[in-house]
Each structure stands twice: as C-alpha cells, then as structure tokens.
Amino acid sequence: MFKEGTFRELVEIALEHHPELAGMEVIVEKELLHYELLHVLDHGGWLDGLIFQGGTALRLCYGASRLSEDLDFSGGPGFSTNSMGGLATYLKRKLSGRGLGVEVKSPKTITSHLSSNIGVNTWRIAFEILPFQRGIPKQRIKLDVDNAPTYTEHPRAIAQNYGVVRESQMLVRVQSREEILASKLVAFSNSVVKRNRPRFRDIWDLQWLRENGTAIHNDLVRAKMSDHHVESAWFEIAADSVGEIVRSTEFANEMRRFLLPQTAAQTLDRPLSLDSLASEIESLIRMAYR
C-alpha cells in the first residue's frame, strides 16, 4: 500500500510534506495507519461486506479537514464476526511486516453505544512505530463494525492525503453524506442524554457537513431514530445543551487533537466563533426533529 520504507520513515516524509502538522505526529501516525488497515481489509476480501461510515469516512471519502483516529463500518443487520475470521492474525502479520510492533484484540462481546439492540464489534489495534525502543507509548486504533442498517451507499475513492501512498486507487462503499449527517444527529443526541461524555467530534462534523451543502433528510433521521430507539425529546435536550458543551474546556481539549493549530486558534480560541458554532448546531438539531 505504501511506497518503500519503514512506517516511521513514511511518517517523517508525510510531516516534511505537511509542515502545518508539526506537533501532531500522534494523529498523523494513526491516519497513515488507516491506509494500511484499509489495504488489509481490501486485500483479504473483508471490505466487500462493509460500508464505510463516520468521521473517518468524511475525511477519506468526502474531503473533511478534521483529522481522525478510528475506522467505522456498517456490516448490516446480518453481520457476524464469523465473516471477519482470520482478520486479527492477518492484520498482525501484515503490519509487523511494515516494521511495526502490533497487538490486535478481536471482539469477544458485542457492545452497544446506543439505546437499542444494535451492537458494535470492535477490533482493538495497538501499535508501536519504534517497537524496540522503551518508553514510547503504544498507539491505539479501533476498528468498529456495527450491525445497523445502511440506507444509502456509493462507491468512492480513498483520498491520498499525505503523498506517501502508492498511486493505485482504492474504492470503498461509503454511506452518503446525508446518511452520515442523520447518524451523527442521532448519535450526538443520544450521547447527551444517555452517556457521561457527549460526542464532541460529531459537533464539528455536523458543522462541516452543513457548510458543505449537506441537506437534512428527515426520512433518514427518522429511520436512524427508530433503529437506535432514540426519542425526539432527546433532540430537544441536545439542542438546549449545545451551547454549554461547545464552550466547555472538555470540548476544546478534545478538538485540539484533531484540528490544525491555525484552525483551532481561529475557532476554539475565539468566543464569537464558538457562539456561531453553538447557534448553527442548535438550529440544525431543532430542524432535524420537527
């Protein structure tokens, strides 16, 4: 998948090509590993049964500027981990061949992050780009596959964001921006009501989707609400809470990990920008459940 060289050398080349990412080595390493993981899924035939979704899909298929760390897919209602048999072993072998120290934990139980019986299967990947040097913490990436329905899908090419990937094009099936918007509206509202920690990155992604002309499809929102047993009242609670969430220290700390320093300075460090973000997302949420 990559040009010749160790993974560490490729990270150094990517950072040299993109000096604006100085200080963001941790997330750059994860983003570069996304290409390896997608290549493994494609080469092993596992990608054929999966639909790309979530923030990393926005980044790699639709041009979102926010950096990302995990891979999210939908396997559909009939998904079983049996269809991914051998993935952990194959991942470890292929990534080890790139000079990485790798541990892969396969899902033992299905976990639900929402309020329904829809489950998420998680492969947890820990890697070290300098496996023989002590004192360097491991990086971690999750590969999540849920069994929720997908209502839209399109073939899209994976963007080559760093200039260190071979020229051969990789295609994936990915949910439409409209469906990802609906999913994020539902997931964020659920997180405000049912989880201890709101999904901060969803706020940013929702704003990006709207700024790039993504329309609310109420039929998709209703379908996602039904799938995940999310009530319309939760949207109102989420809308009422957005202002406080956006202005919180926790939101700023989370988003700084995924935004270029210049972008963070222009948004997270400017109260007026945060006021605008809160207002836009509040309006978006209220429009979705009317």
Quick: pLDDT tens for 55-114.
999 999 999 999 999 999 999 998 989 999 999 999 999 888 878 889 999 997 655 544
**In this structure, are 249 and 155 located in the same domain?**
no
Q: Is the pLDDT of residue 167 over 60?
A: no
Mean pLDDT, residues 187-200 taken together: 94
Q: Are residues 154 and 184 in the same domain?
A: no
Q: How far apart are CA 12 and CA 29, in angstroms?
A: 10
Lowest mean pLDDT, pick from 124-133, 196-205, 272-281: 124-133
**Do 189 and 261 share a domain, yes or no?**
yes
164 plus 198 within the same structural domain? no
Both 154 and 76 in a single domain?
Answer: yes
pLDDT at 114: 47
pTM value is 0.93
| Residue for token pair 């509040």 | 282
Band of pLDDT at residue 122, cut at 50, 70 and 90: very high
Residue 131: what pLDDT? 64
Considering 160, 175, 190, which residue would you say is the last residue of a domain? 175
Closest among 198, 103, 94 to 141, alpha carbons compared? 103
Range of the domain at 236: 176-290
pLDDT confidence tier of residue 290, bands split at 50, 70 and 90: confident
C-alpha 70/C-alpha 56 separation (Å) is: 7
End-to-end CA distance of the chain: 46
Q: Do 21 and 64 have their domain in common?
A: yes
| Least confident range of 73-77, 163-167, 228-232, 281-285 | 163-167
The residue out of 156, 175, 194 marking a domain boundary is 175
Contact status, residue 49 vs residue 41, Cβ threshold 8 Å: no
| Structural domains counted in the chain | 2
Token code pair at residue 137: 């913490």
Statement: residue 1 has pLDDT above 60: no
| pLDDT for 98 | 79
Beta-strand runs (E) in 10-54: 51-53
Whether the predicted pLDDT of 237 surpasses 90:
yes
Do residues 276 and 283 make contact, with C-beta atoms less than 8 angstroms apart? no
Cα–Cα dist 138/129, whole Å: 8
Domain match, 2 and 141 both: yes
User: What pLDDT does residue 96 have?
Assistant: 87
Both 120 and 235 in one domain: the answer is no
Q: Is residue 164 domain-shared with residue 213, that is, in the same domain?
A: no
The domain boundary residue, chosen from 175, 208, 241: 175
- Distance of alpha carbon 236 from alpha carbon 193, whole angstroms: 10
Same domain, 190 and 131: no
Tokens of 167: 């020229």
Of residues 172 and 12, more confidence is placed in: 172
Reported confidence tier of residue 10, pLDDT bands at 50, 70, 90: confident
Is 192 in the same domain as 69?
no
